Structure 1
Amino acid sequence: MLSFLRCGQSEGRKFPSGSFRFVALDVETANHDRASICQIGVACVLPDNSIETWMTYVDPATPTWAFTGLHGISQSTVKGAPSFAEALILLEAPLSGITVYQHSGFDRSAFRAACTALKRDEPVWNWQNSVTIARRAWPELKGNGGHGLASLKRHLGLSFDHHDAEEDARAAAEVVLHAERAKGLEVCFHDA
């Protein structure tokens, strides 16, 4: 049984500290512009495989909200939230030197786009992909729903609210942990 602790929005809360085996990161965007990050969720996996999560809304400073119907986040939700630059300050150092999983390539590309909009380099993190891990662990899902979080939710019996960055980050971390148990540690930490 996996356990997790929610740290909640960053208002008044620091990013979790400690020794993490790896983290999973997920973002939600306001619209089709990948730089329009409006929520960041991080799931930190501790040495005992428990998961501590952290989330912040982000004000993408855009009037265009195309995905509110999908994730429920709107301009009023992010009012008073940090900018991406401010959120990045909280994350950059703690995520350096550890593996950062994303579920697909979207999250890193969103970080890259948001950093480009700020005219700065993206953080040098050890990005890996939990989809690649899932494909290695459960090849039988190819053509049977695939390796997206919705399919893995059914296959692995995961419980999470899809399209919430904190929940999706936790689910991606759980995918990696399930793969470790199913196939062994070596499947998870080779270059993905």
Structure 2
Amino acid sequence: MKPATRHGNARRAAPRPGLKDLYAAIRADTRSPRDWECLAETVAAAVRPVLPSARQVLLAVPAAARHGADRGQVLHVEPDGSFSVVALITRPGYATSIHDHTSWCVVGVVAGQECEERFRVAGAGGFLELTGTRTDDTGAVAGFAPPGDIHRVRNSGVGLGISLHIYGTDINRIGNSIRRTYDLPVRSAR
């Protein structure tokens, strides 16, 4: 067997999936009606193998947002309003407010590390109870759906964090994915 050469039968690595591949995978899995929790899990499974590279995501956002931004950057809204894809590019230590969402959501970490804290309203509505914490590294994908989606995400890494947030709604039409924010005191679950 001949060794591969530069000009002959050199093997090339398969191209990495891009944003169009991501949108196509989401589109395919949002066409069948099902409950939001099932839909979030199905979309998360479809997204895992087609997460684009950090470079592809950075090239798709405005230059001013490439070193970290205080808000997400809308990358795609499906024409029928069935889903939107938002890039969140954060510096180390950045954290969102504690909030919940208007629809199902899938988050894929493209670069860095993202910590998610989950909460529930407790004490007759007087405080939030921390019910769990999860840290996701590059390549992790998770989905969730209301109710019970009260959370906060934070860049817990030492470098730039890049994650894709996929929402089951037209983000341009409703303004953002957040239903409400919570300013209640936080306690750990017992």
Q: Which has the higher strand share?
A: 2
Q: TM-score, normalised by structure 2?
A: 0.28
Q: Which has the higher helix share?
A: 1
Q: TM-score, normalised by structure 1?
A: 0.28
Tell me which structure has the larger Cα radius of gyration: 2
